[in-house]
Structure 1
Amino acid sequence: MPLALYGHPFSSYTQKALIALYENDLPFEFRCIDADHPEHAQEWLRRWPMAKFPMLLDGTRAILETSIIIEYLQLTHPGPVRLLPADPMAALDVRFLDRFFDLHVMSPVQSAVSAVLTGDPDQREYFHARAREVLERSYAWLEAHLSEGSQWAAGAPFSLADCAAGPGLFYADWTHPISPAFPRVRAYRARLLGRPSFARAVEEARPYRHLFPLGAPDRD
């Protein structure tokens, strides 16, 4: 039975899992969770009542949480692109950066987006201001972390950390633009957009840009 990924193309965490699948050209079925496919939502919620996607289905086994999905794929469906280093200490560095992008880049974006969806203008302003503050600190830390000539978050090669960074920085820049004061971060985001696996995920999500509650900019 082929792999099946439940999620939505515009979801940052779905994109994170898609990058890993595309990197190694793994065959899978994408099961979109939307109003046009109620059967997908029913199966997803039956298996994962926490209602967070993506969910990877491998036969009868459901794998949850994007970082775990990517590690699972490396263990059970390895390909030529190894997204976690074999060396335990190097892998620890990659896992830390994965957590950094999820917790300190993507989470503030999601808080700002969720606040807009409440319809409360005070909530919208508070959480958007909070997101701008956190993202500015995250950009500053990342600028210092990225060494001169460093191609990817953990140096080289492309890793789990970059799977998290792509969608994270993509939507973060829409929420609080990365200023010219952070040239390495801006260049890193551009490299991520040029990576074929992430470029494909971005293109597949393009029809849904009108759904971005903060307003999608006319770029990227």
Structure 2
Amino acid sequence: MALTLYGHPFSSYTQKVLIALYENATPFEFRLIEPDQTETTAEWLRRWPLRKFPLLVDGDRQVVETSIIIEYLGLSHPGPVELLPQDPLAALPVRFMDRFFDLHVMNAAQYAVDGALGINATDKEDGLKVATEKLARAYGWLESELAGREWATGDSFTMADCAAGPSLFYADWISEIPQDCPNLRAYRSRLMARPSFARAVDEARKYRHCFPLGAPDRD
């Protein structure tokens, strides 16, 4: 039975899993969650009422949370690109950087998005201020951490880079990575050129009008 992924192509966390699937050319069926896709949305909510996507379904098994989904794919549907090292100690830096991009870049950017949408008791000005402050700290740390590296943890593309792509893509729209962070800017450019992420970006391009802060005329 084919894998089924519920999500939306403009969602950063959906993109994170799409990158992993595309890296290994893993066959799957994509089910779009949108207001007019009532049957798909109802099925998604029946399976996962917490209203978070993506959701991966593999036969009788369903998997949620992006990092867990990617680890599951590596265990149950492995491909030529090993996104998480098998050695437990070697896997720790990958897991750490994966969490860093989710928690300290994407979640930081989410403050600005929430403010623009008027949700979570955040207004636009305060949301953008908090996001900018948090992202500045994350950018500064990443600039030093990425020195001398091609990818997030070294020479190999991993789960951490799956997280980094959409995180830095949207974060840069909200608070542009400054010129004094050349390592980070170059890393984002490498991610944008990676075929798996470039495909995810292109598939989401028609939804850019939905970005509540206004998508910049670039990327």
TM range (shorter): over 0.9
Change (3 A) 1:121 1:197: same
Count residues with an aligned counterpart: 219
Determine whether 1:88 maps to 2:107. no
Map 1:1-220 onto structure 2 (within 5 A): 1-118=1-118, 123-148=123-148, 150-220=149-219
CA distance in 1, matches of 2:114, 2:55: 21
Q: TM-score normalised to the size of structure 2?
A: 0.97
Change (3 A) 1:99 1:119: closer
CA distance in 2, matches of 1:120, 1:136: 22
Say which SS state the counterpart of residue 5 (structure 1) adopts: strand
CA distance in 1, matches of 2:107, 2:167: 9
CA distance in 1, matches of 2:217, 2:84: 34
Structure 2 unaligned regions, length at least 5: none
Identity of aligned residues (%): 64
CA distance in 2, matches of 1:86, 1:121: 42
CA-to-partner distance for each residue in 1:32-88, whole Å, 9 max, x for gaps?
000231111111100111000000000121100000000000000000000001221
Say which SS state the counterpart of residue 84 (structure 1) adopts: coil
1:114 Cα deviation after fit: 1.1
1:108 Cα deviation after fit: 1.3
Bigger mean CA deviation after superposition, 187-196 or 107-116: 107-116
User: Structure 1 segments of 4 or more deviating over 2 A?
Assistant: 119-122
CA RMSD of aligned residues (A): 1.4
Bigger mean CA deviation after superposition, 165-174 or 112-121: 112-121
Say which SS state the counterpart of residue 168 (structure 2) adopts: helix
Change (3 A) 1:142 1:35: same
1:147 Cα deviation after fit: 2.1
